[in-house]
Structures are given as C-alpha cells and as structure tokens.
Amino acid sequence: MARTVTAWVGWVWFGAFALLTVGLFNIVAGLVAVFQDDKVLAWSGNGVVLFDVSAWGWVHLLLGIALTALGLALFTGAAWARYTACVFVVLNLVAQFVSLPVTPWWSLTVIALDVVVLWALTVHGADVERAVS
C-alpha cells in the first residue's frame, strides 16, 4: 500500500519547533517569576486582581518543561505526543490568558504561537504519522 506524504508535514515540524519555543519562553518567564517575591496588582475594567508572581512562576516553569519535552517528542511522529501536546497547549493558553493583565505583550505572543501549534497538530498531524512510519 502506497503512503502519500504531503507537504503539510512541514507545518507539524514547524509546530514542534514553535512548541519548543513556547516551552522555552515559559521556562524563562517562570524562572524570572519564581525568584521574585512580588505581588502584582492588575486593574481591569471590572476590578482589581492580585497576582502572586512567584506562584504563577512555578506554573509557567512546569508547563514550560512539559511543553519543551513534548516539542521534542513530536519529532518522533507519535500520535500520543500530538494528543498530549494539544492538551498541554490548551493548558498553556489558559495560563497565558490569566497572565494577560500582568504581562500583556508576552502573553499575546505566546497565545499566538499556541494557536499556530494547535492548528498544525490538529489539522496536519496524521500526515506526520504516515511520513515517519
């Protein structure tokens, strides 16, 4: 049986590299925040939010480690890596939305990368399985 591999495989490899980038961004942001004992007040149209920067630093650090490992695992073409990466990317999207009032530009950049990664993994993931098997 002939296997058809399309050029869309490149999008999944791009998604893997973008996931590595997102993971490294989270590791850097997490480490910076972990070593700060600050609390941050963020104002929005509906009120004031108090963030414990150090606690959120741990969330970003752990997510960053998981996302980096999953980015590497995606290069194997394994289906489990794609499915797990999608779950962790959604968790990272939630974490970035929560961090939006504190670090808006950083969070928006990571959110944009997360959306591209999700698109690549969900739309073209099956092409990678055919390419590596």
Q: What residue ranges do the domains of the chain occupy?
A: 10-132
Asked if pLDDT for residue 129 goes beyond 60, the answer is: yes
H/E/C letters for each residue in the chain? CCCCCCCCHHHHHHHHHHHHHHHHHHHHHHHHHHCCCCEEEEEECCEEEEEEHHHHHHHHHHHHHHHHHHHHHHCCCCHHHHHHHHHHHHHHHHHHHHHCCCCHHHHHHHHHHHHHHHHHHHHHHHHHHHHHC
Asked if pLDDT for residue 37 goes beyond 90, the answer is: no
Mean residue pLDDT across the chain: 82
Q: pLDDT tens for residues 45-86?
A: 676 666 667 788 898 899 999 999 999 998 888 889 989 999
